[in-house]
Amino acid sequence: MTVDNLFDVPEAATNLIALLADEGVAHFFINPGTDSAPIQEALAAARAAGTPSPRAVLCVHESVALAAAIGHHMASGRPQAVMVHVDAGTLNLGCQLHNAQRNGTPVVMFAGRAPYSSAPEVRGHRDAYIHWQQEQLDQPAVVRNYAKWHMEVPRGRELAPIVRRAFQVAQSSPSGPAYVMLPREALMEPGSRALPRRLPPAIPPGPDPGALGRLAGILVAGQRVVIVACRTAAEPGAAVVLARIAELLGAPVIDQGDRANLPLGHPLHVVGDAGPLETADTVLLLDSEVPWVPAQLAPPADARVVQIDADPVKAGMPLWSYPVEIALTADTRVTLVLLEQTLLRLATDELREKWSARRRAAESDVAQRRREAARRAASDRPADAPDAMLAALGAALPHDAVVVQEAVTNRPAVARQVQRPPGQVFDTGAPALGWALGGAFGVKLARPQAPVVAICGDGSFNFGVPTAALWSAHRHDAPFVTVVLNNHSYLASKLPVMELYRQGISMR
């Protein structure tokens, strides 16, 4: 790929815009500062020249920019790019760093860095007092716990290979954020005439055949098999394969709510309720970060647990001690196809008869849970008010509506009453609140024709910097409906006090 005659001034910033377009970035979420002037000029020049470039999306708060990038990726599958101002803007990314990490969002976060030179003859030199104040001893320390990789661009001609590397790392499994610092002098230096070729993300590993066979054998031997799925259907086609496996084994699928992991209305789909785990003797975990909370509900101690995950060890979580017997490091989408084939080879007539009976029992149990959800929806009890309201909302949604949810304590009610097909419901699955508004904005940019509805609590609405999120949505013609479940409190913080200090002074 060459950039000869791409712009009148072939600065390194010009390379950056060409690279973003070539990497498939559709929208570039920007909160500008004194360091981003070369990038803003390069974007304007690209538009004037009619050359490929991402659409610049102005975000008036950095948290909204990263939240939107997370939402955009969920809806589009594309890699993402965000630009913020030096250390201060990086700090303002806030808890969305946590969400991007835990959600595995392949986003390259660009941040300026205070210029090195104060010599007037150096283009991009220090020319404001903040260029001293905004220089930190270790700017990447802000993101080191959350980013897979970080690097600074030392010279303009080095920008292109560093950006290629950043996108490769961010998109390789397990995917996640990368961080690149851009000194202003480097952006204004001459870039590369011939840009390096794209570095494709690494192909995820397939499962070890022997281990897959042992895992299938455990599922075949199980009497009460339960499947726990989190982001398995990030690509909706995986839901169909998972449904066939669940039907074959007669296993209910507990959907943890980050995505819809079975086709809409599937009779083995359990939402907003982990109850089937309590009697399971065999559990299959699929892309699940927290399969259950032992203090609340867990399978029996002698249950056999097996796992398929791109990151089964969860080394980024200091404590993760679920009793997994076989953990396959593999792309779940590919592995499910192979698992189905293995199970079909093992399925004798006797096993099929047993599994069919188990399926009927599981479907009956799921149907009973749905009747209970319908009872809640029709109830006038105050405790069921969220279910009743959400059921009305669910019934009113157009068939193509996309739901972005951050309902916190009402998350189970949303799962019960607002069910959508795979690819039409998104949740970060991470507890850093304030994502939903920016996330809905990003989803709407990715799917401009679809109605988008954000469902959040009053606390998460406030954390979402609503003035900034709604301003950007209005500015960029990306409208969405926001439904606030207002319980007039930070209930998620109140409940532990009520549980841990039932007779405490704070409860009087």
Residue 7 in 3-state DSSP? coil
**The pLDDT of residue 233:** 85
CATH assignment of 12-188, among 3.40.50.300, 3.40.309.10, 3.40.50.970, 1.10.510.10: 3.40.50.970
What span, in angstroms and rounded, lies between the C-alpha atoms of 111 and 150? 11
**The pLDDT of residue 508:** 77
CATH assignment of 382-495, among 3.40.50.970, 3.40.50.10420, 3.30.720.200, 3.40.50.1000: 3.40.50.970
Global pTM?
Answer: 0.95
H or E stretch including 271?
strand 269-271
Q: How far is CA 486 from the centre of its chain?
A: 25
What span, in angstroms and rounded, lies between the C-alpha atoms of 437 and 199? 33
**E strand residue ranges, 302-352:** 304-309, 324-329
What is the full DSSP assignment across 31-80? ---TT-HHHHHHHHHHHHHT---PEEEE-SSHHHHHHHHHHHHHHH---E
Residue 194 in 3-state DSSP? strand
pLDDT in tens, 301-311: 999 999 999 99
**The pLDDT of residue 258:** 86
Same fold, 209-375 and 382-495: yes
**The pLDDT of residue 498:** 83
CATH code of the domain occupying 209-375 = 3.40.50.1220
CB 256, CB 426: distance < 8 Å: no
User: What are the sequence ranges of the domains in the chain?
Assistant: 12-188, 209-375, 382-495
> Which among 269, 306, 310, 301 is positioned nearest to 291, based on CA atoms?
306
pLDDT in tens, 36-47: 999 999 999 999
**The pLDDT of residue 1:** 54
Residue 174: asked if its preceding bond is cis (omega within 30°), the reply is yes
Residue 239 in 3-state DSSP? helix
Residue 116 burial (CB count, 10 A): 17
Q: Which residues of 166-194 are buried (b: 16+ CB within 10 A; e: fewer)?
A: bbbbbbbbbbbbbbbbbbbbbbbbebbee
pLDDT (tens place) for every residue of the chain, 508 residues total: 554 444 444 799 999 999 999 999 999 999 999 999 999 999 999 999 999 999 999 999 999 999 999 999 999 999 999 999 999 999 999 999 999 999 999 999 999 998 988 889 889 888 888 888 888 999 999 999 999 999 999 999 999 999 999 999 999 999 999 999 999 999 999 998 889 999 999 999 899 999 999 999 999 999 999 999 998 888 888 999 999 999 999 999 999 988 999 999 999 999 989 999 999 999 999 999 999 999 999 999 999 999 999 999 999 999 999 999 999 999 999 999 999 999 999 999 999 999 999 999 999 999 999 999 999 999 999 989 999 999 999 999 999 999 999 999 999 999 999 999 999 999 988 779 999 999 999 999 999 999 999 999 999 999 999 999 999 999 999 999 999 999 888 888 888 888 888 888 887 7
